[in-house]
Structure 1
Amino acid sequence: MASFKPSIPSGEVHVIMGPMFAGKTTALLRRIKSEGANGRNVAMIKSSKDNRYAVDSVVTHDGAKFPCWALPDLSSFRQNFGGDAYDKLDVIGIDEAQFFEDLYDFCCTAADHDGKTVIVAGLDGDYLRRSFGSVLDVVPLADTVTKLTARCEMCGKRAFFTLRKTEETKTELIGGADVYMPVCRQHYVNGQVLIKAARSVVESHKSKSGTFSEAAPVI
């Protein structure tokens, strides 16, 4: 009679997403601390790109901290953490998940094959309200998906979107309240109009200044 080795229990994937300042990291830390308090082995990962508050800790906007592994990609986690230590892990938290290009593959492997519970926290959209990184790609893998909202800085209503306050147009621009603000739909649309108008004025002034400077005599 053939003998069968017991299979590794299947893991789980949980996604926490929303705009900036919605409390995603706070929710992630609460879940990780709860799992640890219940006797499960936990580890936290964040992108090495995010060093706003600390290099080796996940930090919420209000200052709560938790030690973590800051990595450029998730595929290197097992090697850095150590194979034996990884095998003993029960729960893996991933903060700022939008910065990891290999998020989908990592979640598949960790949950489906290694039996880990993976809790992913990240932005679902960028400042243009387009898909940011691979967070939305993980949704079909997820056991649960939680969409958090912030408070609109303009009117106090529920904020679903992140408005960028600077003229920078690259997708990845790490910053805090000096660069971004959470807004409702109405103030996102109004804010985009105002930002475009402000940019037009600035560019117009630059153009006029450049023309004047070229025509001005050198003294």
Structure 2
Amino acid sequence: MLPISKMKSFVSSSSFSTLSPYFPITASPTLSLAYKSTQCNPIFTHLSNFFSLKTPRVSLPRNEGFSTQKRTAQMGASLSPPSGEVHVIVGPMFAGKTTSLLRRIQSESINGRSVAIIKSNKDTRYGLDSIVTHDGMKLPCWAVPNLSSFKQKFGEGAYDKLDVIGIDEAQFFDDLYDFCREAADMDGKTVIVAGLDGDYLRRSFGSVLDIIPLADSVTKLTARCEICGNRAFFTLRKTEEKETELIGGADMYMPVCRQHYVSGQVVIETARTVVEEAHKVEFTTTA
């Protein structure tokens, strides 16, 4: 226990609050004594002088920081390519792919964006200068043999002003991947692609599936099975032709569900076998 004389040195004679005998109104005298003791110590005096030194100010040109940030942002903007998009619409025949494409193109046009639609010149069902849906919706288009020729045919100046490019029956374009990649990544275009994802044998058709890794969105549409009315994911060919690219409508194709695709293929194969056998018998008899 400290002697009374030393205790007095830590406690000042200043008055305490009447509300509490433990907390004085003025600052603690202990801190005051400690501060005075540091002034007599050369180490604390040296540290005090050190921290009291003023940091020299570095004068910068006016608005230098802002202009540097602005220049950096401008350089980054000039180096980065414009941002485009790729949207893919797939499904069997009669699923409404072209209708969906044309509606999106119309919506973009109403919003003030410059649009153009491309189709293959192989599709001559409704003429070469327009795209017509199964329900009668119609819009003008550019018919080209390949997508790489579109820019030249459309005009490079006009192409630069384009915002949105629609591609119908995309399965007929072998250069689909390269065109979509360049248009979206380098030219900043929004490309909307509609096409068959599978042929009548349920195999990949053209390059449509190749652009899915490029796509911002992929929409898989379905039709109604022509036999039972359930959702149809596949296209059944009614005729005996075997080539992959056989352009036609309801006279050659119908949308079917899985069950009726399998049974329909069996019926078609059986009928084809019967016809072939009949031709063989006829040829043998004639010979």
Is structure 2 residue 212 aligned with structure 1 residue 212? no
User: 1:68-79 residue pairs with structure 2 within 5 A?
Assistant: 68-79=141-152
Q: Residue type of the partner of 1:70?
A: A
Q: Secondary structure at the match of 1:118?
A: strand
The superposition leaves residues 3-39 of structure 1 with CA deviations (integer Å, 9 ceiling, x where unpaired) of 6363442100000000000000000000000000000
The superposition leaves residues 134-179 of structure 1 with CA deviations (integer Å, 9 ceiling, x where unpaired) of 0000000000000000000010000000000000000000000000
TM-score, with length taken from structure 1? 0.95
Q: Which of residues 46, 61, 83 in structure 1 aligns to 2:156? A: 83
- Distance in 2 (CA, whole Å) between partners of 1:8 and 1:135 is 25
Residue 170 of structure 2 aligns with which residue?
Answer: 97
Q: How far is the alpha carbon of 1:195 from its aligned partner?
A: 0.4
Higher share in helix: 2
Is structure 2 residue 74 aligned with structure 1 residue 31? no
Q: How far is the alpha carbon of 1:53 from its aligned partner?
A: 1.4
Residue 16 of structure 1 aligns with which residue?
Answer: 89
Residue 138 of structure 2 aligns with which residue?
Answer: 65
- Distance in 1 (CA, whole Å) between partners of 2:273 and 2:85 is 48
Higher gyration radius (CA)? 2
Residue 43 of structure 1 aligns with which residue?
Answer: 116
- Distance in 1 (CA, whole Å) between partners of 2:220 and 2:89 is 6
Contact 2:176 2:211 in 1 (8 A): yes
Taking only aligned residues, the RMSD between alpha carbons, in angstroms, comes to 1.1
The superposition leaves residues 106-161 of structure 1 with CA deviations (integer Å, 9 ceiling, x where unpaired) of 00000000000000000000000000000000000000000000000010000000
Is structure 2 residue 209 aligned with structure 1 residue 136? yes
TM-score, with length taken from structure 2? 0.73
Q: Structure 2 unaligned runs (5+)?
A: 1-67
Q: Which of residues 261, 264, 274 in structure 2 aligns to 1:188? A: 261
Is structure 2 residue 110 aligned with structure 1 residue 56? no
Alignment length (residue pairs): 214
Q: Structure 1 unaligned runs (5+)?
A: 215-219
Q: Secondary structure at the match of 1:75?
A: helix
Residue 232 of structure 2 aligns with which residue?
Answer: 159
Q: Secondary structure at the match of 1:21?
A: coil
Q: Secondary structure at the match of 1:61?
A: coil
Q: Secondary structure at the match of 2:127?
A: coil
Residue 179 of structure 1 aligns with which residue?
Answer: 252
The 4+ residue runs of structure 1 with deviation greater than 2 A are 1-9
Q: Which of residues 98, 102, 106 in structure 1 aligns to 2:179? A: 106
Q: How far is the alpha carbon of 1:48 from its aligned partner?
A: 0.3
Q: Secondary structure at the match of 2:147?
A: coil
Q: Residue type of the partner of 1:172?
A: E
Structure 1 vs Structure 2: percent identity of aligned residues? Answer: 75
- Distance in 2 (CA, whole Å) between partners of 1:43 and 1:160 is 29
Is structure 2 residue 192 aligned with structure 1 residue 116? no
Q: Residue type of the partner of 1:47?
A: S
Q: How far is the alpha carbon of 1:203 from its aligned partner?
A: 0.7
Contact 2:81 2:185 in 1 (8 A): no
Higher share in strand: 1
Contact 2:114 2:164 in 1 (8 A): yes
